Amino acid sequence: MTVIEVLAPGLLTTVQDLGREGFGPLGVSPSGAADPIALRIGNRLVGNAEGAAALEMTLLGGVFRFPKGALAALTGSDFGATLDGADLPPWTSFKVNPGQTLRLGPTRSGARCYLCTQGGIAVKPFLGSASTHLLSGLGGYEGRALRKGDVLKMGDSGIPNCPPYSSRALSANRSKKVTPKILERLLPRKILRVTAGPQSGWFSQAAEKVLYGGTYHVSEEANRMGLRLHGPPLPEGAHGAMISEGVSLGAVQIAAGGMPIILFVEQQTTGGYAKMANVISADFSSLGQLRPRDLIRFECVAFETARKLLMEQETLLTSKDLIVETT
Amino acid sequence: MEQEPVPGVRNLHPAYCSLLVKFEAFEWRHEELERQLRKYIGRLSKVKLAEPRLMEIPVCYGGEFGPDLGEVAAMHGLTPNRVIELHASATYLVYFLGFVPGFAYLGELPAELVTPRLLSPRRKVPAGSVGIAGNQTGVYPFETPGGWRLLGRSPLEMFRTNRDGLSLLSIGDRVRFVPVSRERFAELRPA
């Protein structure tokens, strides 16, 4: 069995795939990768099904030893990775020889970096997904972030079309990288596109001017559950408590004090704050790369525009030209 | 919608008086799906629901398990024992599950017990804690942050991964709380 030894876990490293959708009636939020674009591309680089489980690192990466080697790729933000001391380019697959050590450091760009390995990370699926949900301690590796000394199994992720890792497959694999011109168009944005939220009608035009005219910064309270923002407060009025209802990923809730909170992948499934806007699906991955103190703005678009942007993104993500072999 | 699923609908979040429907944007335009869902609403009265189950949940009230019992009693001019009696006297309806896996929103509290939530939520509420907020009550399935006022603790596991249906409570269940002693609490607690 091929394994990854965790020599240092980094700040917050969890097993994630594309999440478990469909269990809202039980109060289970989908969880899953904070930057699904990075996860999907990383998996393609190592020949996995794009939803295979991988390691999601946050702000500071870990140190990992591969006793039996691996085919791996790092995607998302640049955490200054080295393999036995040699620099590794991001968005490119690489071969790890048995006994080599992969070392990641503090981020040089956004919040999250993904380590994808051929065969995926093997954990017992919970409700059909390997994703960790930290708040409830479910899924992933023992329902928690990785610790020093953990040993992760690879190669039996239980995902269809995800070949088990083998040295033979490895030698047949040439290094692959992402076409820069396409990648450019998939990178995270700081101007987040939103559609109107379920309670947008509760807010005045003055409030709209504040939300769409102002610059907000991401506070230190930004995690997989949500991102609390600081910036111009929305005028008093409709914000405050209401009857609890379902809340969607990317909802822009206006809490007491008039400050927005963006709900994220480990969000609670229901809540009682007014939702003035909702980040569009095409910009979910951008949320996953936001760091505390990053500056962001909101731009309101129509539902139809949001749908068009998602489809354009999907076309890029599934295009044959996205990934090319390197020599 | 569980009985007759709509293709391309990926998740449902029922709540008190709303249903959030998450759908695949590649398959549906917003207004097209809305038209489809309005047909379902037109047939609501014809949907057959399962017979409600009556579930009993043992609770050890007060002490370290119910740190807010005394304050809630004082706020309403009641004795702690009367608060327990009232909380355990009602039969509650499971309106929906939300917040975290297996957290059932139960209502309605007897009018004498309606209490606002804590001004500032606790960072850690132990698993099994039984709380009240407004006219609702519920049991925390996991140790999470929480702003409900805590009256006691149940030894039962509200959500576990090896149970059929995962969650002890389902939408539509009727629930009663049964006061138990500390000794009985310890006996009922899973090993």
Q: What was the ipTM of the complex prediction?
A: 0.90
Domain extents for chain A? Answer: 3-176, 191-317
| Mean pLDDT, range A165-190, rounded to an integer | 79
* A243 chain-B contacts, CB cut-off 8 A: 15-18
CATH homologous superfamily of A191-317: Cyclophilin-like (2.40.100.10)
| Mean pLDDT, range A221-234, rounded to an integer | 94
With contact defined as beta carbons under 8 Å apart, do B28 and A313 qualify?
A: no
Separation of alpha carbons A132 and A125, rounded Å:
10
Flag whether residue B26 sits within 8 Å of chain A, measured between CB atoms. Answer: yes
Nearest-neighbour CA in chain A from B81: distance (Å): 30
Nearest-neighbour CA in chain A from B186: distance (Å): 23
Q: Nearest by CB to A135, which of B22, B100, B159?
A: B100
pTM exceeds 0.80 for this model: yes
- The whole-number pLDDT of residue B163 equals 65
With contact defined as beta carbons under 8 Å apart, do B157 and B190 qualify?
A: yes
| Mean pLDDT, range B86-113, rounded to an integer | 96
Q: Which residue has the higher pLDDT, B77 or B145?
A: B77
Q: Nearest-CA residue of chain B relative to A25?
A: B13
pLDDT digits over B8-37, tens only? 999 999 999 999 999 999 999 999 999 999
* B142 chain-A contacts, CB cut-off 8 A: 135-137
> Cβ contact (<8 Å) for A136 and B11?
no
- The whole-number pLDDT of residue A43 equals 97
Separation of alpha carbons A5 and A154, rounded Å:
11
Flag whether residue A282 sits within 8 Å of chain B, measured between CB atoms. Answer: no
Nearest-neighbour CA in chain A from B153: distance (Å): 18
- The whole-number pLDDT of residue A159 equals 44
What 8-state DSSP symbol labels residue B110? -
> Cβ contact (<8 Å) for B96 and A270?
yes
- The whole-number pLDDT of residue B50 equals 84
State the count of interchain CB pairs (< 8 A) between A and B.
Answer: 105
> Cβ contact (<8 Å) for A136 and B101?
yes
Percent with pLDDT over 90 in chain B? 84
Q: With the C-alpha atoms ordered B180, B186, B188, B190, is the resulting torsion angle positive or negative?
A: positive
The residue behind tokens 């896996």 is B101
Sorted by where each starts, the structural domains of chain B and their CATH numbers stand as 9-46 (no CATH), 54-188 (2.40.100.10)
- The whole-number pLDDT of residue A162 equals 44
Average model confidence (pLDDT) across chain A: 92
Among A120-134, A227-241, B50-64, B88-102, name the one with the lowest average pLDDT.
Answer: A227-241
Nearest-neighbour CA in chain A from B170: distance (Å): 8
* A281 chain-B contacts, CB cut-off 8 A: 25
Three-state SS for A80?
A: coil
Separation of alpha carbons B81 and A137, rounded Å:
35
The gap between the terminal CA atoms of chain B, to the nearest Å, is 38
